[in-house]
Structure 1
């Protein structure tokens, strides 16, 4: 029971870190265009991060992304030690990338850590004919490392061209003023998408821990007799405080801000105007809402980066600072394997104490 409680605390700490690590995603453009001060912007984003709880519960109707995360590893190879090790590795990588100002994906950090710890536990990628990684779940997640920013880039380019065509005869000063007001709406929409996507990832990890506890330690007849598809839905009802805590933790983390990453996202990829800020955020929000509908965890970092690149490409190819963008791409590609390796090391150390 002590390890289970530790996992819940660590997961919420990770959620908090995720909030300030990814706060730049929803407020970078609104800060760079000086619509809000950084402090006002993080309060705005934090509020709508929590609003996402009600959107997921009452509009979407279920926590699909949390369920996906919980199933990314074959449940036969999940233990509390595996979950604990994956979380520790994910926290280490998230803190390092935050310190370095690298907008990496907290989602993929968590998945990489979970998978790496499970592989270390089994001693390979399969055992007795069963694979450790649930590939039908994980492969779409990996593909969306590249698909999500491309969707964001295409959508933002189309919307930018559409708006520019409509507003070509508008007074530049008045148009700029209107788009600054619209940035409040677009930033709120993206923050809802961010909260709905990222808070659920932590729910998935906590859910995996509680389901393991109920089935293998408490031997709860109710959970044992359920199918794996039913268990997570039942968990969110039994432990109703977990979803609320996850959304509160990410909102509090967002309020703490991540200023280094805000600078990278808001100014170093391309210079963003209020019109382009609205476009990037709306495009990112659309991508995130689509992914939640499909139940595919995507990176809010990747999504908004692709959207910002898209608005830059509309101006000209040279408007995008490709040197910075390539470095970000490398960070994205390396996140899952690095997190997995870290988790293997952490699990090896943890295993010395729990053998």
Structure 2
């Protein structure tokens, strides 16, 4: 029975990893697609490959998730499963709405909410959540926006000195490199979160010793799942980040992506489970601020930030409800009932999304009014 439950948890974790991949593809490739530096299908293919490679670069974030958020010795595989369901459902809801919310915070919120209901507050590492999750969540997007604003201003100084046509070609090639770096950084940070959750479940189930590192099969499967999800492309979220925050040109895309990749790789080095969504979206807003005559859509930015603030408690509430409801039935039967309900929710949201489908063929058709500067640049 315990083995069957662990298998279900691992499958749920990889399903979350898949949703993380297509939900967060926008982080790396939205600006490259919006600026025309990369074709949509080529962009998601590059991102998928580099997400897979990035999963093998570090395990520090995985260790933080496995032991720094909740007490693995006090939880169980069913609690981890409930947390995963909370994260999956929230990811699907925000994907349907086209909101670039944090998969990382959805996962952490779901696990914490389920733990609170099933075990109690004694099993939640509040200081660890504050220092490793909440503080970076507040600092990272602001830092990325400020650095991207300065970098964009410098990039347009180079455009004026070198000439629009020549510099635009150079920034296009540079943006391919910078977008690839974001994808690599995303793999080092986000794929590890699923590794950490699977490791947490294996420790809770007695399969691994406390404080164990993720086994090789966990690293390979988590990297593969996020890469596959990335290739499917979260087109609805890509459209929001690429066309609904600000008009994106190649110098802006290069600046925002370079700054975002630097912040994400630094956080992976120190083991912070940073939200790549927060960092990349902050970089896009900063790129709009740093360019003269560019229009930042503050209404959309405010809606996005509101989604960020709601993510932890919303995913936590879903995880808590799942833990409570599955506990009413009990055992593996309760887990299977929840799994079936989750599949039904996923199917319903997918069918609803087909009424206003967004894909690689129409990803850039809904955009902001073009600024004078952007028009002049393309004309050159």
Alignment match of 1:171 (pick from 163, 185, 206): 163
* 8 Å Cα contact 1:157/1:311 also seen in 2: yes
In the alignment, structure 1 residue 75 sits paired with structure 2 residue 72: yes
Which SS does the other structure have where 2:255 is aligned?
helix
| 1:53 counterpart residue number | 55
* Pair 32,211 (structure 1): closer, same or farther in 2 beyond 3 Å: same
Alignment match of 2:9 (pick from 4, 7, 10): 7
* Superposed CA RMSD: 1.5
Which SS does the other structure have where 1:285 is aligned?
helix
Stretch moving more, 280-289 or 33-42:
33-42
**What's the offset of the Cα at 1:353?**
2.6
Alignment match of 1:262 (pick from 238, 243, 251): 238
| 1:153 counterpart residue number | 145
Which SS does the other structure have where 2:162 is aligned?
coil
Which SS does the other structure have where 1:169 is aligned?
helix
**What's the offset of the Cα at 1:317?**
8.6
Q: For structure 1, which runs of at least 5 residues remain unmatched after alignment?
A: 57-62, 126-130
* 8 Å Cα contact 1:12/1:245 also seen in 2: yes
* Pair 299,317 (structure 1): closer, same or farther in 2 beyond 3 Å: farther
Q: Distance between the aligned counterparts of 1:139 and 1:70, measured in 2?
A: 16
Which SS does the other structure have where 2:212 is aligned?
helix
* Pair 163,315 (structure 1): closer, same or farther in 2 beyond 3 Å: closer
The list of structure 1 runs, each at least 4 consecutive aligned residues, that deviate by more than 4 angstroms after superposition, is none
**What's the offset of the Cα at 1:251?**
0.5
* 8 Å Cα contact 2:51/2:186 also seen in 1: yes
Q: Distance between the aligned counterparts of 2:114 and 2:230, measured in 1?
A: 28
Q: Distance between the aligned counterparts of 2:294 and 2:36, measured in 1?
A: 24
Deviations 1:63-88 (A, max 9, x none): 01011111201234311111011011
Alignment match of 2:212 (pick from 232, 244, 249): 232
| 2:129 counterpart residue number | 138
Stretch moving more, 269-278 or 30-39:
30-39
**What's the offset of the Cα at 1:40?**
0.9
Alignment match of 1:121 (pick from 118, 132, 136): 118
| 1:303 counterpart residue number | 279
**What's the offset of the Cα at 1:165?**
3.3
Q: Distance between the aligned counterparts of 1:286 and 1:306, measured in 2?
A: 13
**What's the offset of the Cα at 1:166?**
4.0
Q: Distance between the aligned counterparts of 2:118 and 2:56, measured in 1?
A: 37
Q: Distance between the aligned counterparts of 1:174 and 1:65, measured in 2?
A: 41
Greater length-normalized contact order (CA 8 Å, ≥ 6 residues apart): 1
**What's the offset of the Cα at 1:337?**
0.4
Q: Distance between the aligned counterparts of 1:53 and 1:104, measured in 2?
A: 21
In the alignment, structure 1 residue 271 sits paired with structure 2 residue 251: no
* 8 Å Cα contact 2:65/2:196 also seen in 1: yes
Deviations 1:38-65 (A, max 9, x none): 1111001111111213432xxxxxx010
Match runs of 1:1-355 below 5 Å: 1-56=3-58, 63-71=59-67, 72-122=69-119, 124-125=120-121, 131-140=122-131, 141-214=133-206, 223=209, 228=210, 231-233=211-213, 236=214, 239-315=215-291, 319-354=295-330
* 8 Å Cα contact 1:49/1:191 also seen in 2: yes
Which SS does the other structure have where 1:345 is aligned?
helix
Which SS does the other structure have where 2:272 is aligned?
coil
Stretch moving more, 322-331 or 162-171:
162-171
Which SS does the other structure have where 1:319 is aligned?
coil
Which SS does the other structure have where 1:22 is aligned?
helix
TM-score in terms of structure 2 length: 0.83
Q: Distance between the aligned counterparts of 1:317 and 1:328, measured in 2?
A: 22
| 1:60 counterpart residue number | none
Q: Distance between the aligned counterparts of 2:172 and 2:123, measured in 1?
A: 49
Q: Distance between the aligned counterparts of 2:304 and 2:137, measured in 1?
A: 12
